[in-house]
Amino acid sequence: MQRTEIIFLPFVSTHAIMRSYAHRVRETEAIDMSSRNETPEPLPPCMLFDMDNTLYDFFHAKNEACTRVTELAGVGEGAELFRYFLNGTHGFEHHHNIQDYLRDRDVLTEKLYLEACTVYDEEKVASLRLYPGVEETIRTLHSKGVKLAIVTDAESPQAETRMRAIGLRQYFDTVVTPDISGKRKPNPDTFLIALEHLGETPDISWVVGDSPKREIEPGNALGMKTIYAKYGDWIGIPYPQIIPHYTISSFSEIKTIFGLE
Ligand SMILES: [Mg+2]
């Protein structure tokens, strides 16, 4: 599908890679794996990856953690607590959602709250399961000399814990988070700092993520090649104006894109 889109490039003043405000009109072409060009793409020097719901099913892990908390509290069901994390009052990761839930059900005590937070954190990490093909694909890219980075909106302690829990931390040169970049996606600063750490520029780099708004749109705007990990997009809001270079239905299709099979 051919589409013309206007891309607005932000001004990033604090990094080595400087870009001025510009309007750019470009022809983009969405490619899914069933209609893609058979010619493999050349391997890039580096790739950026989102973490949650791109490498593993974070929705599942969070559901499991919420269920454990409601079992501990003896009230309600996991899905009810999960809705507290979604409603935006405290943010998607904040323990205060648990506090509100316990208070609304008249079971809040300091002891239960602290226990619930511990159970929640432990279960969330213990329930992380890689999507099929992730470990093998990451290992292959790493062995071919592609430098890898994580660009995530999780805070550093959580991001580092999750990357170690799934056994992939050693393959990534850097893990860039909002406490490092000062910004959350879709602001491009996290991407730019990751690229700076890797010593590369956006125009020759790729980004992979499950969110059109948080990874594909800023990646396109920076002139990167973008891969939409559709299998992980549990929110599923359509963004017809945001067009990735590739859409994949399983992680190992990344190898197909680069002819690594
Ligand atoms: Mg994600």
Quote the pLDDT of residue 38: 73
Cα of 115 vs centre of ligand 1, distance in Å, is 28
Predicted pLDDT at 200: 98
Position 34 confidence tier, pLDDT thresholds 50, 70, 90: low
Indicate the fold that domain 2-56+131-257 takes in CATH: Rossmann fold (3.40.50)
Say if residues 129 and 75 touch (Cβ distance below 8 Å).
no
Which one, of 186, 214, 194, lies nearest residue 147 by Cα?
194
Residue 19 has pLDDT above 60, yes or no: no
The pLDDT of residue 25:
27
What integer pLDDT is reported at residue 31 of this predicted model? 64
Residue 30 has pLDDT above 50, yes or no: yes
Question: How many angstroms is it from 51 CA to the middle of ligand 1?
Answer: 6
Tens of pLDDT, residue by residue over 201-241, are 999 999 999 999 999 999 999 999 999 999 999 888 999 99
> Which of 241, 260, 248 lies closest to 55, judged by CA?
248
CA of 110 to the centre of ligand 1 (A): 32
Q: Which helix H or strand E contains 78, and what residues bound it?
A: helix 78-86
CA-CA distance, 80 to 201, in Å (whole number)?
A: 44
pLDDT tens digits for range 121-136: 999 999 999 999 999 9
Amino acid at the residue 100: D
